[in-house]
A and B are shown apart, each in its own frame.
Chain A
């Protein structure tokens, strides 16, 4: 009888030990998929996820095309889009027609899905601790939170209400700071923008040890390996990019005091983002840095950029598909001043004679394929900080001073302190951010309802700022 008990006990022990190993048995790692746990258990894995976020930004749906080169600039009437053009529905603000509806849908869903990726990234850094050292983790988190603020802010600028008062309470968009799939409410615009600012504050605090503060942008040698934390910091949400972004956000909110404060903080380190040179703009014929990437505080690297160029701006593209302005319009924008680096460098009538009008060369490839500035689309340049300061400066003369710094660095003469600064600022926004997507937001912020019609040689067109919330969102709300 006793033996039986021992036998039974042995069975139970064996059974329990089997049960304890069950959990392991059931944790399966599928070979054809990359699991969260695999990625967040190594430094390389975490880096790949973070880099994935930047790659998402550079996708065609977001800043690789829609929000820089095409859609957003068409909204700003940059190009000649007659009724025969394939994208006429965009230029006429037909938000419920194809292809506008699809593009707006894509911008929305891709922005928010990148935000989900950011939130999952942040949560997983906490969920799988100890993989990164503290400094790296802080910087990674800082970058991700800044990107979250950046995306939300641009969504607000595009889909949100016109921020006409200093603190608009109009219903805007949902703000997501967690990957939990709960549905966040539509916030009043002021609450939304406060969240953007909160995120940027958090980010700035996390980035205080950013190496850009000591080492600058730090462009690596050709063919040298690129260190995530040390090199090319202007392709990441660095400490100064966050400050520059803050200046942009505060100005959008109408808080000129704060805007000026942060603009100045960035202006103070202009040396880290040096102005482009006349040599680059006027003499360099083979490999000019047309996008002025030295001035860039933040930008993306889009490895598909030259494909985009070939399908959007290349002179070989048929009239009904090319994105190019009417020559007289572009001449007006640049006030017919060939000394302007931006005009001379980026706008030419093709020498092949294939087009009789000026086409856009800013994103054309260069001959030397090793140039570090290739594939770059700037999203925040030092010049914008100067323009923000100029607009925010309570003393007009000081403002004109900032404006003139930009003008002199573009090969233009300084203006007298008596000019209408807003008129001149608008001109500079039109000139400086061609193909960078900022002009439409400038118009919207400044409440400019009537702008030059891109499809006609003269006359204006009314801008429709009521960009609707896409169906994929509105239907389920």
Chain B
């Protein structure tokens, strides 16, 4: 009976049954001989039937023979009617006739007859018939190219729908069809009792697949029919690289997404990253940005259809990310018109899925271990020896008294060194930072109403004590779907709390002298005199850290996104969306009166409290009409999209001064506001409007045309040029759909696209175009009253920056998807730039914004992935991937107008110049011929080829370029069943670096900074005696070393980006028992290795950190 029951359980049980059967049969065979004889002798059966059902025949056999039959009812479904005419036949004879041509066979066990499927007879084939049907989408439009296969029959031929969505396939009634199409959810159709022809409606996939381009505008395109260059990554893919934030992960997976390393800020969690996609599109200049402006080279971030801030993206919970799409070229970004020239990063969060209530819980843990290997500082005895050689203890005056004083000082220091004092200051402000992120998410609902509620809280502690960033978010996502209407509403609340380390700049600790004993009590380590007789006070970096203080910020934002889709007809769809955001942030900074900042300040002004608050209100709305039509081989899509947005900011700040000693910083205890201070306040309103038309035509899915035109209006433009048009035009060719390639079985997909377009950059102050007056402050009245004067002379003719980009791309997938990749090339020219030009002061204006010059980037990027093992059936893959990016930039059209900017760069001792024909990343310095062995002085090369000891700024030339010849990531990954492993390394080849450590800590050590600790090379590698061949100038020279090519070094580096080991348990029985659906563990390590051909200090004000992290995700 047990056996019967098992069979009844259906399909899955069949396999199980088969194994059981084999066991039983063995037993049966052993006993059959005896049983058979007895059976044969007793039963005499007579039956005469025509086309009777098998079941009725079996009933008769049972009655006449007394044998029992064991079978399941379903087994009789496909049996044929039986015609039989026997008299007094044995059971065996009757059974033989009855089961001839039946899909079943039998065994006789004592008086039991067990029926089973006759596998050798292939009964299914006998039952096959032709199934015809049509595959359509939710709007009942035909889906051409969808594939239909029979479930459980991997070898069977696959049917593909034709242009009208029709297909034909053979299958039995018993079987199930699987219908798949990119961008749509896979559907299974049980054929039993289905009327033919079938109409199969596919649902569009909510979560993104890699083959769909999400532009963030509501216009989602099949990658196959799009001419733009984009790259899409799933949230899981990114999380496998880094569980910190999306930005960290994107830099590893996408070659064109560059994170500019911030050597000053290191791994400070509160410093926003600097990002470039395909280079810069403007001159970085703070003067044209107002308080609320963005980095003018930063790409636009779009979260769930609305532009958002970098900060929101940095704090975004990675567990909520469904996909990230990087739009790089004109065709893909033109829909964003004036905001698009730096590229667009589109992030979609996970949408609720219908189904039972489903919880997902994720826990991330990250350890940040400060990396001190880059610091190459002297120990106590080395330092003292360096000081001696550098002349710290040799008085410059001829008088004996100062010399005696200095010698006493030397002996004091020497005594300390001999005593064994060798303080290592670097470790004091550091800790092993960590962050934990808990994220929980619940979703469910039926087809008409789905919901998703999620929240996360992240605690982050940085590698410097006291620095940290905590962030949190909560969201409620509701979707209502009925007939032609689909409404989605998401409400977010999110925020962060940050704090800066009370230890201040890490540089103070790196520079602290090792022969002093660490102390917390005194603001100075030593008060003495330098060799030139000046007073020399050596600050104690630990002292300030111990005083009460804080530097915190709080940020909170509430946001609501409403999105409505209405299908007007099969061809038209209307989409409207509205986002409203309200946010506020506050910064509070307190320094207690005991801190060394206030040493020379009167008592009532010691201590300082700074409070800045910003309120923000923003709305963005858009309305889009979509038209879609397919006629035979012609497929046409068009969109008309209009947007409106307004952003209001209000900032208010005050400063209070004077606190009682020991005060912990409540402003209640401040004596007064800052001397002659006034509250600072500013407000800004920024508005923009746009209307865009985009059209796409594809013929036979072979030839593709894309066109976008957008007109943009904003308050940022010159008042004479409020509106500005942008456009793009693209062509594509799906070679894999051509007959001559279709036959090449090794080519799966091959597409060539190219496009050209013009986009803009809006990250400028919104008032550059309008003249602004200020109330005179100091002498602000006379007998006639008050007066105003010009604060800023606007340029009403200022045109927005425009970037013309030409791109070409080749995408391929070869050898059954074993070798996939793309090669992109681009030429990106921003013309005109907006540059703040200094005019002669007689014009009365400074930093007047001008349209002048151009900046061109030419580059290529590629990503190639090869799978040595690609066995999807066994779920076993191994891939090796390479990304590479290379570009060059060039300024043009400046003439001599930017001489003033260049002069400023020279005065500020920076390496940047704006000169025609040169790269934006060029390093400018005087050519150095090295150190003269005779004198220890630096020899410069003048422009006319002469050698000179004299430094002259006129000899500054282009001495290098920070852009590497090629940069990218090599990675490999293995996935076997639930196990996955991946590792990635970033390589940079051939970029130049201005080595700041050499410039500041080996040379340029003044009488004052001699008291600070320095790089070891200052002692070992500087010129000491005539004849020394040295890289660095004479050790006793305290004079200023100018910027020269001697400090420009070519760097090749290899750094570990990511290492990841994980295991995913999915639908294992033990999981079920625990009530879990899936469980995933992941361990990650980032930045654990950095190899470089040059030695330079990394992390000046904040050290870099290596990170190790763990993730756990469970859904139930």
Contact = CB atoms under 8 A, between A and B. Distances in A.
Nearest to A471: B841
B40 interface: no
Nearest to B848: A181
Interface in A22-40: 22-23, 25-37, 39
B41 interface: no
Interface residues of A, number: 66
B845 A116 contact: yes
Contacts of A470: 841
A25 B685 CA distance: 11
A54 interface: yes
A48 B838 CA distance: 28
A356 interface: no
Contact of A23 (B683, B722, B793): B722
Interface string A160-175: 0000000000000110
Q: Which of A30, A228, A232 is packed against the most chain B CB atoms within 10 Å?
A: A30
Contacts of B644: 25
A23 B790 CA distance: 25
Interface in B661-689: 681-689
B687 A51 contact: no
A472 B907 CA distance: 13
Contact of B783 (A117, A183, A301): A301
Contacts of B903: 475
A366 interface: no
Interface in A183-202: 183-184
Nearest to B684: A30
Contacts of A176: 842-844
A34 B766 CA distance: 14
Contacts of A375: 782
Interface in A219-253: 226, 228, 232, 235
A54 B903 CA distance: 34
A54 B784 CA distance: 10
B778 interface: yes
A116 B844 contact: yes
B788 A49 contact: yes
A31 B650 CA distance: 9
Contacts of B713: 22-23, 26
Given A35-B771, A184-B842, A476-B840, A51 B899 contact: no
Interface in B638-678: 642, 644
A242 B595 CA distance: 59
B789 interface: yes
Contacts of A182: 843
Interface in B699-719: 713-715, 719
B789 A232 contact: no
Contact of B844 (A31, A39, A112): A112
* Interface bracket on B: 35 or more
Given A36-B773, A53-B789, A183 B840 contact: yes
Interface stretch (A57-65, A80-88, A424-432): A57-65
Contacts of A473: 840-842
B783 A181 contact: no
A472 B776 contact: no
Nearest to A173: B842
Interface in A97-134: 105, 108-109, 112-117, 120
A163 B1041 CA distance: 46
Contact of A476 (B781, B784, B788, B839): B839
B722 A477 contact: no
Contact of A226 (B691, B783, B794): B783
A109 B767 contact: no
B629 to A, nearest CB: 15
A304 interface: yes
A52 interface: yes
Contacts of B789: 49, 52-53, 55-56, 113-114, 117
A45 to B, nearest CB: 8
B65 interface: no
A22 B773 contact: no
Contacts of B840: 174, 183, 472-473, 476-477
Contacts of A48: 785-788
Q: Find the residue from A55, A59, A116, A473 having the highest chain B CB count within 10 A.
A: A55
Candidate in B644, B722, B775, B787 with the most chain A CB atoms within 10 angstroms: B787
Given A28-B687, A36-B773, A112-B841, A303 B790 contact: no
Contacts of A136: none
A109 B714 contact: no
B782 A181 contact: no
B782 A30 contact: no
A297 B841 CA distance: 31
Given A116-B793, A476-B899, A28 B841 contact: no
Interface string B767-805: 100111111101111111111111101110000000000
A15 B689 CA distance: 13
B972 interface: no
Given A34-B772, A51-B787, A52-B787, A28 B685 contact: yes
B779 A55 contact: yes
Nearest to B688: A26
A174 B790 CA distance: 20
B682 A32 contact: yes
A302 interface: yes
B687 A181 contact: no
B842 A108 contact: yes
Contacts of B899: 475-476
Nearest to B651: A32
A47 interface: yes
A56 to B, nearest CB: 6
B107 interface: no
Nearest to B841: A472
A277 interface: no
B551 interface: no
A30 B642 CA distance: 25
Contacts of A117: 789-790, 844
Contact of B773 (A32, A49, A184): A49
Contacts of B782: 51, 54-55, 58, 235, 301, 303, 375
Nearest to B900: A476
Contact of B776 (A15, A19, A56, A235): A56
A117 B774 CA distance: 12
A39 B766 contact: no
A59 B767 contact: no
A53 B773 CA distance: 12
Nearest to A476: B840
Contacts of B900: 475-476
A115 B838 CA distance: 18
Contact of A55 (B771, B776, B794, B839): B776
Nearest to A120: B790
Contacts of B781: 55, 303
A18 B643 CA distance: 12
A176 to B, nearest CB: 7
B842 A181 contact: no
A179 interface: yes
B722 to A, nearest CB: 5
B842 A35 contact: no
B842 A64 contact: no
Contacts of A22: 689, 713, 723
Interface string B833-868: 000001111111100100000000000000000000
Nearest to B792: A33
B120 to A, nearest CB: 64
25 contacts: A22-B689, A25-B644, A27-B715, A27-B719, A33-B773, A34-B773, A34-B775, A35-B771, A35-B773, A51-B782, A52-B786, A53-B789, A55-B779, A56-B787, A59-B778, A108-B842, A114-B844, A120-B771, A173-B842, A176-B843, A181-B793, A181-B795, A183-B842, A303-B781, A473-B840
4 nearest CB pairs, A to B: A116-B844, A52-B787, A472-B841, A51-B787
Given A47-B785, A304-B779, 6 more contacts: A28-B685, A33-B774, A49-B773, A55-B780, A302-B779, A475-B903
